[in-house]
A and B are shown apart, each in its own frame.
Chain A
Amino acid sequence: MTITKEAYNRIELLQGTLDMLILRTLVLGPAHGHEIAKHIQRTTDDVLQVEHGSLYPALHRLERKGWLTAKWETPKEGKREFKYYRLTPAGKKQLATEQSKWRLLVESIARVMGGETA
């Protein structure tokens, strides 16, 4: 399923890009799972839907790889504790490599697709 029935312009995430998006989101500062999901959704005008089902396994996987650390904290204005994720230096490095790979991929695809329309 690549496009859902209700919203034709919502796109399922490409395999493996979720990790990159999480890392990129956390560059802006620590965030908990719900915030990360909302952030991705909002910045893409709801085009990218983050499956919550894959968000948490991804977070834990990244934590295990040492790219993120997590800590329970209470936000300033809130009363509830949330598990906040932070980018580690290794995570930053990882984001850089993923970004350059991503760029390469996009450019290559664009070249092919551009050739098709021309």
Chain B
Amino acid sequence: MRFWRWWVQNRNREADLERELRSHIEAEAEEQREAGVTSEEAAYAAQRALGNTTRIKEDVRMAWGLRWLETLIQDLSYGLRTMRRSPGLTAVAVLSLALGIGANTAIFSLMNAVMLRDLPVKNPDQLVLLGTGRASGSTDDFASTPLYSYPFYRELQQKNQVFSAVSAVLSLTFNSMHGAVGESGSLEPMDVQLVSGTYFSMLGVEPILGRAFTQADDEPAGGHPIAVVSYSWWKRRFARDPSVLGNTVRLGSTVYTIVGVTPPDFFGTTVGQSPDLWIPLSMEKQISPGWNGLDNKWFQSLDVLGRLKPGVTVTQAEANVNLLARQIWHEFAGAVLTKEQQIALKRANIQLTPAARGLSRLRFQFSLPLQILMAVVGLVLLIACANIANLLLARATTRQREIAVRMAIGAGRARLIRQMLTESFLMALCGGALGVAFAWWASEALLAMVSTGSRPLPLSVAPDGRVLLFTFLVSLITALLFGTAPALRATRLDLTPALKEGRGVASIASSSRLSKILIASQVALSLLLLIAAGLFLRTLVNLANVSTGFDKKNVLLFGIDPSDVGYKEDARLANLYGQIEQRVSAQPGVRAASISFFTFNEGGWDGPVEVEGRNLAASADNDVLHNVVGSGYFATLGIPVLFGRVFTRDDTAASPKVAVINETMARQFFPGGSPIGRRFGTGNDPKHSSDFEVVGVVKDAKYISLREKQWPAAYYPYTQNLQYYNDLDVRYSGDPKAIVAEVRRAVGQVDHNLPLTYNDTLAQQVDRSVTSQTLIARLSAFFGLLAVFLACIGLYGLMSYAVTRRTNEIGIRMALGAGKTNVLWMVMRESLTLAALGIAIGMPVALAASRLVSKMLYGLGPVDPLSMIAAAVLLLAFAALAGYLPARRAARVDPMVALRYE
């Protein structure tokens, strides 16, 4: 309604202005006539004196204000009409923009989820983490700064002056514990996180149902079998039943009562994890008997989070925390510190890390790859921009007459440029909108690619406000990038020839020079991407060729969970392991089976050793990687035994303690002579240096990652180191599906209550250990090829256009005796020159840029001649192909037809 009134008023005003200007001209003409000019002359002179009325009207309309809105509406509708008039060009442009912007949005969504998004808690900016959050697990190092003990946390909580609240979280989430809902429920996997009573109140997270934990839930140990459950678990398991409170979950032999439900967007404090249940730290022993650190000052397994008091800076807090921590550690250690302790205490420095975005090991793993990918898709978008700019340049040539006419009847250059930019924005926004839809799908696919576990990571990658803003800004920038040059170029023309001929020869020449520059830069950018892709692919190949030291083929990995069904760490547990190994090995397709603490890429347990009869230098790195395995482990993993023996049934809890070590450990700790029969102990205490007797030496292997340096490693039999172990490794032959069923049956025969999950093959586990490299290699290869494809389309378009325009010239050349080969070569040479120019520009840039990614490379330096040559050759080949098609068309020109052309 309002718009209508404005429009009517506007029309009146237009008529009014027209009338006013006419009256001016008439008054002027009259005056001229009075001065003696003929009436015809006078009218003409009057018009001339006033000047360009269209322009005046434009300026007057500007003075009216609201002009911008009117202009915008005009421009938009004109833009839509232009887009409809050339549907082919519009489709190509919008689609390539959708791809480019979509790829950027998808990567950004993931980056946003992993690196940028704040936790959905109260004032996340006040949260800090003690340490850098890189470690998880437990350590008994004196004065550990990545992880903290429960007594330390309590002392800090009571004595600090800088936090309004402090809370502790166990650094490990117990993923896939098996619990039963209700009295008679069957076992199902659930993820459990142990937190201090202050956890929810410190975060400011109010449960939507029931209550959260309080400080009172921290004591006494074992006294608070309660659980707060996540919204998604409540939805999944209880269909949002409000009577969920008071229901129970049995984990192991303890029954927990559900007391609260968290809000929908809360997923805890670790990005990439989303626990189903939170349980008070006071229940640590009940949840996992191995984690019994409530009153152990040196069982350091907690992440400690604090909320800064208002006005306290991170630096102030850091000073206070470090001062306090030294006091606490000193107190814990007792009156007299050993020399090592004194050094450690002096060296210990707690760094406070802002925790607004939560903790995440994921972030450490993926921030560099994501940044690299962001750069890659950014370059792809640039290439797409160059392509569209070229299309628009070509169209600008065909639109020259239209533009000339519009300028001749008084359109200002600025106005025309603005109008053409509006068209570009319209195109970019269409591309952006499509891109968001594309990204929605792509970011889910990306998430699946980065998920190292068998389940997708619980991360929300759906576009949020920040992502949409990003996409919008990218679209705007894109439009400016591809729209500005063509708009400037199209409006800078010499009117007279443009009107006369319908084309200005000079401006075509200069616009094709601009096109050439665009193409050469596209080639340069593609070269960059191809070289990057080459580097990452070769890294992946190098990683795949790393000698693992074990045979990853034909091994299935299962998980068992004896703690969940009430086994204690006693002889019954050893018996269970033994029976499982025996039954499973007896299955027809199974060649060997073994329980183990770690298999590959599951983390590790490292610590120093003391060797009997040797005085190891205290300063040296005496760390060894430890593993606890069954007697069939080496056969299952295919690790060759070099000397001595592996474990047997005779190695029992009662027999002397034995160990099998790897070559590196043998060389490093037992130089000269056979290590068989020699003794060593774990820890720094010389009194224990004869705890284990070496009975065998096996070949070196990779343990935690493919990129690791060679660890010295020691294996111990589980019979002599009884604990809950979760890995069941099975070497098989034949059909793995049948084997999974066989193993299930065999384990069921031993204990039908024991939860058994099939996780993966060992080969998959190895592949997953290089997820970030795989991701980056695959995506950079994909985008590299896409970039080359786009660049070649651009090159092809330019050359085809050139051939069409030069048909006449080519005809003359051929009439004068130029052969088909000459013509073919003439056109080919031009496209190859452009490609070569692009490569020459791109090479030094690539050399400089590849240093930035050297951290992601393995087995090759950033300057890799093979990748560079391969990229250049591939580009030249594609450029030759893109040039050949128009060149062949040129060579087929019939001179007679060509000469008559135009």
Please report whether the interface of chain A is mostly helix, strand, loop or mixed according to DSSP: helix
Which of B17, B23, B26, B28 has the most chain A CB atoms inside 10 A of its CB? Answer: B23
Decide: A34 and B56 in contact? CB cutoff 8 A: no
Question: Does A93 reach chain B (CB closer than 8 Å)?
Answer: no
Residues of B close to A34: CB separation below 8 A: 23-24, 27-28
From A54, A58, A60, A80, contact of B64 by CB (8 A): A60
A53 in contact with B51 given A60-B63, A64-B64 (CB within 8 Å): yes
Decide: A64 and B51 in contact? CB cutoff 8 A: no
Question: In the bound complex, what is the Cα–Cα distance between A53 and B64 (angstroms)?
Answer: 15
Which of A35, A54, A56 has the most chain B CB atoms inside 10 A of its CB? Answer: A56
Residues of B close to A53: CB separation below 8 A: 50-52, 55-56, 59
Determine how close the nearest CB of chain B comes to the CB of A59; give it in whole angstroms.
Answer: 8
Question: In the bound complex, what is the Cα–Cα distance between A60 and B60 (angstroms)?
Answer: 6
A81 in contact with B23 given A53-B52, A53-B55 (CB within 8 Å): yes
Residues of B close to A54: CB separation below 8 A: 59
Question: In the bound complex, what is the Cα–Cα distance between A74 and B165 (angstroms)?
Answer: 83
Decide: A57 and B62 in contact? CB cutoff 8 A: yes
Chain A's closest residue to B50 (CB) is A52
Determine how close the nearest CB of chain B comes to the CB of A60; give it in whole angstroms.
Answer: 4
Chain B's closest residue to A82 (CB) is B23
From A33, A38, A61, contact of B20 by CB (8 A): A33
Residues of A close to B49: CB separation below 8 A: 52
Question: Does A83 reach chain B (CB closer than 8 Å)?
Answer: yes
- The number of A-B residue pairs with CB atoms under 8 Å apart is 55
Residues of A close to B59: CB separation below 8 A: 53-54, 56-57
Question: In the bound complex, what is the Cα–Cα distance between A34 and B32 (angstroms)?
Answer: 13
Decide: A83 and B55 in contact? CB cutoff 8 A: no
Question: Does B65 reach chain A (CB closer than 8 Å)?
Answer: yes
Determine how close the nearest CB of chain B comes to the CB of A92; give it in whole angstroms.
Answer: 21
Question: Does B21 reach chain A (CB closer than 8 Å)?
Answer: yes
Residues of B close to A51: CB separation below 8 A: 51
Decide: A83 and B56 in contact? CB cutoff 8 A: no
Residues of B close to A32: CB separation below 8 A: 23-24, 27
Q: Which of A64-111 contact B (CB under 8 A)?
A: 64, 80-83
Decide: A57 and B63 in contact? CB cutoff 8 A: yes
User: 1/0 per position for B1-40, CB-CB distance to A under 8 A?
Assistant: 0000000000000001101110110111001000000000
User: 1/0 per position for A21-40, CB-CB distance to B under 8 A?
Assistant: 00000000000111100100
Decide: B63 and A64 in contact? CB cutoff 8 A: yes
Residues of A close to B63: CB separation below 8 A: 57-58, 60-61, 64
Determine how close the nearest CB of chain B comes to the CB of A49; give it in whole angstroms.
Answer: 10
Chain A's closest residue to B26 (CB) is A80
Decide: A52 and B20 in contact? CB cutoff 8 A: no
User: 1/0 per position for B334-376, CB-CB distance to A under 8 A?
Assistant: 0000000000000000000000000000000000000000000
A33 in contact with B26 given A52-B56, A57-B59, A61-B63 (CB within 8 Å): no
Decide: B56 and A33 in contact? CB cutoff 8 A: no
From B21, B28, B31, B65, contact of A56 by CB (8 A): B21
Residues of B close to A83: CB separation below 8 A: 16, 19-20, 23
Decide: A64 and B65 in contact? CB cutoff 8 A: yes
User: 1/0 per position for B66-80, CB-CB distance to A under 8 A?
Assistant: 000000000000000
Question: In the bound complex, what is the Cα–Cα distance between A60 and B63 (angstroms)?
Answer: 6
Q: Which of B618-668 contact A (CB under 8 A)?
A: none
Residues of B close to A33: CB separation below 8 A: 20, 24
Determine how close the nearest CB of chain B comes to the CB of A53; give it in whole angstroms.
Answer: 5
Residues of A close to B50: CB separation below 8 A: 52-53
Question: In the bound complex, what is the Cα–Cα distance between A61 and B17 (angstroms)?
Answer: 13
Residues of A close to B27: CB separation below 8 A: 32, 34-35, 80, 82
Residues of A close to B55: CB separation below 8 A: 53
Chain B's closest residue to A65 (CB) is B63
A52 in contact with B24 given A57-B59, A57-B60 (CB within 8 Å): yes
Decide: A56 and B26 in contact? CB cutoff 8 A: no
Question: In the bound complex, what is the Cα–Cα distance between A80 and B59 (angstroms)?
Answer: 25
Determine how close the nearest CB of chain B comes to the CB of A70; give it in whole angstroms.
Answer: 9
Question: In the bound complex, what is the Cα–Cα distance between A51 and B52 (angstroms)?
Answer: 11
Residues of B close to A82: CB separation below 8 A: 23, 27
Determine how close the nearest CB of chain B comes to the CB of A86; give it in whole angstroms.
Answer: 15
User: 1/0 per position for A14-25, CB-CB distance to B under 8 A?
Assistant: 000000000000
Determine how close the nearest CB of chain A comes to the CB of B50; give it in whole angstroms.
Answer: 5
Chain A's closest residue to B27 (CB) is A34
Question: In the bound complex, what is the Cα–Cα distance between A82 and B59 (angstroms)?
Answer: 21
User: 1/0 per position for B306-347, CB-CB distance to A under 8 A?
Assistant: 000000000000000000000000000000000000000000
Chain B's closest residue to A62 (CB) is B63
Which of B17, B26, B50 has the most chain A CB atoms inside 10 A of its CB? Answer: B50
Decide: A52 and B60 in contact? CB cutoff 8 A: no
Determine how close the nearest CB of chain A comes to the CB of B227; give it in whole angstroms.
Answer: 69
Residues of B close to A38: CB separation below 8 A: 31
Determine how close the nearest CB of chain A comes to the CB of B62; give it in whole angstroms.
Answer: 7
Question: In the bound complex, what is the Cα–Cα distance between A51 and B49 (angstroms)?
Answer: 9
Decide: A56 and B20 in contact? CB cutoff 8 A: yes
Residues of A close to B56: CB separation below 8 A: 52-53, 56-57
Residues of B close to A35: CB separation below 8 A: 27
Determine how close the nearest CB of chain A comes to the CB of B51; give it in whole angstroms.
Answer: 5
Residues of B close to A52: CB separation below 8 A: 24, 49-51, 56
Determine how close the nearest CB of chain A comes to the CB of B412; give it in whole angstroms.
Answer: 12
Question: In the bound complex, what is the Cα–Cα distance between A81 and B16 (angstroms)?
Answer: 12
Question: In the bound complex, what is the Cα–Cα distance between A38 and B55 (angstroms)?
Answer: 21
Which of B31, B56, B63 has the most chain A CB atoms inside 10 A of its CB? Answer: B63
Question: In the bound complex, what is the Cα–Cα distance between A35 and B20 (angstroms)?
Answer: 13
Residues of A close to B31: CB separation below 8 A: 38
Determine how close the nearest CB of chain B comes to the CB of A63; give it in whole angstroms.
Answer: 8
Known: A52-B56, A64-B63. 10 other contacts (CB 8 A): A32-B23, A32-B27, A52-B24, A52-B50, A53-B56, A56-B59, A57-B59, A61-B63, A64-B64, A80-B23
List the 10 closest pairs (A to B, CB-CB), nearest first.
A57-B59, A61-B63, A34-B27, A60-B63, A53-B51, A52-B50, A83-B20, A57-B63, A60-B60, A57-B60
Provide 25 A-B residue pairs closer than 8 Å at the C-beta atoms, listed in order of the A residue. Answer: A32-B23, A32-B24, A33-B24, A34-B24, A34-B28, A38-B31, A51-B51, A52-B49, A52-B50, A53-B50, A53-B52, A53-B56, A53-B59, A54-B59, A56-B21, A56-B56, A57-B56, A60-B64, A64-B64, A64-B65, A80-B23, A80-B26, A81-B23, A82-B27, A83-B19
